[in-house]
Structure 1
Amino acid sequence: MEVAKPYEPMTLAHLGTLLARADDSTRWRLIAEFLEEYRWEPQATRQALLSAEPAASGDERWDAFLAALAEHLASKDDRAAPEWADSRALRRFWFPFNTRAARVDAVVNAPAAFRRRGVYVAAQELNVA
């Protein structure tokens, strides 16, 4: 008889592991799943979901994205970003949604944590990712 494991929300470190093995379409679904689970967690427990550093994915763009996401979510809860996030940034801008309209929207509406790291994604993409 199998014993069911209790529910545990996805951590950002686990998300990073999943992103490293996924294609772009699947990555956005995984990000949406993480964000949905994160939103349902009590504010007092959310920081623990961001604290462990995700392993390098092999793609510096996604590594910077995860750092930006950690800082962005922490700041929404009036907390500092995890220390590991400070070292991840791109030398060249990246637009994950690379259409003309999406680029303009991202330049205007990318959250500060993302702009600081060279990742240009509009805030609403993080709400419906």
Structure 2
Amino acid sequence: MEQSTPYKPMTLARLGAMLAGSDDSRRWRLVAEFLEEYQWEPAAERGSLLDQEPARTGDEQWDVFLAALAEHLAAKDGHAAPRWAETRALRRFWFPFNTRAARVDAVVNAPAAFRRRGVYVAAQELNVA
């Protein structure tokens, strides 16, 4: 009889490793997959998916995005951001969705964890159906 491996949700550290060397289209699909898995985990277990610091992706903007995402998700569950996320911030603003409408939407609706790091992405871009 074949042994099956138990399901394990993606961690943020694993997401970071998968983002390295990927193009932006694939990166957003991976982020959506992570968020989908994260939302289905019991709230008491979600923090463990954020604890381990992701290795650098090779792109500072995405490294900071991961820190903002960790803080944002932890805050939604009533927890502090993981320690590793505290020091990651951009010196110049980044608008991942860089159209005029997306920029306005992001300036108005970016979650605090993203704004304070210089990453302007609207909250609805982080929602998974």
> What is the TM-score of this pair, normalised by structure 2?
0.97
Q: Which one-letter code corresponds to 2:80 in the other structure? A: A
Write 1 or 2 for the structure with the bigger share of helix: 1
1:1-129 equivalences under 5 Å are 2-128=2-128
| CA RMSD after TM alignment | 1.2
1:2–1:22 distance in 2 versus 1, CA, 3 Å: farther
SS in 2 for 1:91: coil
- Give CA-to-partner distance per residue, 1:21-70, whole Å, 9 cap, x none: 21100000000000000000000000000000000111110000000000
Q: Which one-letter code corresponds to 1:91 in the other structure? A: R
Report deviation, 1:4.
1.7
SS in 2 for 1:114: helix
8 Å CA contact retained: 2:35, 2:128: no
Report deviation, 1:2.
4.8
Q: Tell me how far apart the structure 2 counterparts of residues 82 and 51 of structure 1 sit (CA, whole Å).
A: 6
Unaligned residue ranges in structure 1 (runs of 5+): none
Q: Tell me how far apart the structure 2 counterparts of residues 89 and 9 of structure 1 sit (CA, whole Å).
A: 27
Name segments (4+ residues, structure 1) moved above 3 Å. none
Q: Tell me how far apart the structure 1 counterparts of residues 91 and 3 of structure 2 sit (CA, whole Å).
A: 48
SS in 2 for 1:51: coil
Report sequence identity in percent.
78
Unaligned residue ranges in structure 2 (runs of 5+): none
Q: Which one-letter code corresponds to 1:40 in the other structure? A: W
8 Å CA contact retained: 2:75, 2:81: yes
What is the aligned length? 129
8 Å CA contact retained: 2:36, 2:128: no
Q: Which one-letter code corresponds to 1:46 in the other structure? A: R
